[in-house]
Amino acid sequence: MMSNTWFNQSPFDVRLEWGLAAAEHLAHEADCVVIVDVMSFSTCVSLANDNDALIYPWPWKDDSALRYAQENGADVASFERTFSGERYTLSPTSLRDIPAGHRLVLPSPNGSTIAFKARDCGAAVFSGCFRNRIATAQACAGFQRILLIPAGERWPDGSLRPAVEDYLAAGAIIAALGKRHLSPEAQAAAAAFRGSSLADLHHCASARELQERGFADDVALCLALDVSRRACRLQDNAYRSEPGDTANH
């Protein structure tokens, strides 16, 4: 862990920093961490939790996911976003009709790894996106120190590719928090959201990738704003829904 403190935004209640490094270096000083991975992990979690299904995040796409699913009495989603074959995948469209009570392990090296690191630091962990940004803000309102982590994507060499959709969704949640003491990083994200058009995000890099692969319906689901009233909180290894305005802290 870094010994310097200039980067941790500790003078402010609401903070924002990117990716796994944010969880590694800032989460230990946060009471609540919101992980934002719009295309598509956070959107998948929101859709499943809206149906009262449970999502078990898992960082690896290998046989360990199958074993983890067996340990938790769960199914495991396909490792790839596919049109057919496995019933559930990392495609939000595949999760729209998941039944209540269903347990699903969703392998996601990005969002899951960040979630586990934040949880290990002792923070309450939420998954947030455009769909549930108001509910997420309401669920986090009772926490003093809130860290927003836009997950971003990965370049082929494994380095972080900042994803504009994650940044703006984090800003959308921050904007819904109301009057809080925001770090400059958090202020900038909220201002970016207020000045943006979600319609333009249909042409961002992540959206174009999905569209070119035949997943335009996923993009529409990922960019739907304020359509869910449930926050998604990581509890007992699974994301579970809770109403945004009555969340227990």
Report if residue 107 sits inside a domain: yes
Report if residue 43 sits inside a domain: yes
Q: What is the pLDDT of residue 4?
A: 62
Q: What is the CATH number of the domain that holds 142?
A: 3.90.1560.10
Average pLDDT over residues 177-187: 98
Report if residue 2 sits inside a domain: no
pLDDT at 231 over 70: yes
Average pLDDT over residues 9-19: 98
Q: What is the pLDDT of residue 83?
A: 55
Q: What is the pLDDT of residue 247?
A: 41
pLDDT band at 194 (very low <50, low <70, confident <90, very high): very high
Report if residue 249 sits inside a domain: no
Report residue 16: phi and psi, to 5°: -145, 130
Indicate the pTM of the whole model.
0.95
Average pLDDT over residues 48-70: 97
Q: What is the pLDDT of residue 240?
A: 98
Average pLDDT over residues 83-97: 84
**pLDDT for 114-138, tens place per residue?**
999 999 999 999 999 999 999 999 9
List Cβ neighbours of 189 (8 Å cut-off, separation of 6 or more): 16, 148, 150, 167, 168, 170, 171, 174
Distance between CA atoms of 133 and 128, rounded to whole angstroms? 6
List Cβ neighbours of 202 (8 Å cut-off, separation of 6 or more): 211, 219, 223
Q: What is the pLDDT of residue 244?
A: 67
Q: Which of 78-87, 107-116, 127-136, 215-224 has the lowest mean pLDDT?
A: 78-87
Distance between CA atoms of 235 and 249, rounded to whole angstroms? 12
Smallest CA-to-CA distance from 206 within 193, 219, 195 is with 219
Domain that holds residue 68: 14-243
- Number of structural domains (the chain) is 1
Q: What is the pLDDT of residue 86?
A: 59
Spatial contact of 117 and 20, defined as CB atoms under 8 Å apart: yes
Report if residue 197 sits inside a domain: yes
Report if residue 5 sits inside a domain: no
Spatial contact of 82 and 215, defined as CB atoms under 8 Å apart: no
